[in-house]
Amino acid sequence: MGEETKSRLGRGLAALIGDVGGADVERAEQRPTKAAIEFLRPNPRNPRQAFKEDDLRDLAESIRERGIVQPIVVRELSGVSNVYEIIAGERRWRAAQIAGLHEVPVVVVEADERQSLELAIIENVQRADLNAIEEAQGYQQLISEFEYSQQDLAKIIGKSRSQVTNTLRLLKLPAQAKQFVVDGLISAGHARALLSVPDPEQVARKIVEEDLTVRDVERLAQTKETGAETPTRTVKEKDADTLALEKSLTDSLGLSVKIDHRNEAGQVKILYQSMEQLDSLCKRLQG
């Protein structure tokens, strides 16, 4: 893979829609065009697999008001006329269907399997749309199927090699711990800390049940390494009213809400998985 190709891909979707040239990834259309929504197909290799219904409905409402601002990047399916596979923008395509659109703006590019996967990962990483496990699985696909080195990945994605290495290590976690990350119940920071504990699945459950912080998990790992007695964290049982309020707020916001109430004071934690979720939450709180 030449340095020129790596540089272009490292710039993400701007390289596709803007000034791509050469034989690696070429534009079939210089400007966005329209495509019937039923002629688009999701990419089965898309690293992003989790699409929350609440997020899609929020985006659909935005699309009804303002339309689709950023076109969906697609490639023609081999041997099938006027049918396209989505490279980047599957979430917008799904929301457009909820919004009742019949056509969506697309940019048609020429890209092979490797380039399609690269660009899907780049877009999602740059937009922070992937959870840590999906990101790691995407990296592993490039390594396993296209013989990428970790250094290659670091250059293309614009991260350090150590960041790529640490993300890939998350795939060593047990299945239940990885699912907690996918579901947004524990953070990427929690997941990295779990790699240092003897029983990551058990500790992952403690994180969810007892609302442990990343620092709590790091302390657990340190006590195991030194052989010191494991510190116990006193967890006050939540009363029925607090649990009911947590559930009500979670259902209302579509985001996981935790309430820590002690005496007359406490804190409310709202967990989000993407900047779009945070933006939506801020709009609700401000308006």
DSSP letters, 124-137, are HHHTT-S-HHHHHH
Kindly indicate the confidence band of residue 243, based on its pLDDT and cuts at 50, 70 and 90: confident
Query: Of 85, 90, 123, 134, which one is the catalytic site residue?
Result: 90
Return the axis-axis angle of helices 90-99 and 53-66, rounded to nearest 10°. Answer: 70
* pLDDT at residue 250, as a whole number: 83
For the chain, strand residue ranges (E) read 26-27, 33-36, 40-41, 72-76, 84-88, 103-110, 256-262, 265-271
Strand partners, 268: 259
Kindly indicate the confidence band of residue 21, based on its pLDDT and cuts at 50, 70 and 90: very low
- Please enumerate in sequence order all residues whose Cβ is within 8 A of that of 116, keeping only pairs 6 or more positions apart, or say none: 43, 45, 75, 85, 87
* Residue 236 clears pLDDT 50, i.e. is over it: yes
This prediction has a pTM of 0.58
Q: How many helices (H) and strands (E) does the chain have?
A: 14, 8
85 is catalytic: no
CATH 3.40.50.1980 holds for 3-126: no
Quote the radius of gyration of the chain (alpha carbons, Å).
22
Q: How far apart are CA 205 and CA 221, in angstroms?
A: 15
In the chain, ranges of CATH 3.90.1530.10 domains: 3-126
114-123, 219-228, 278-287: the lowest-pLDDT one: 219-228
> Is the pLDDT higher at 148 or at 36?
36
pLDDT, mean of residues 236-245: 74
Closest by CA to 257, choosing from 273, 267, 265, 246, is: 246
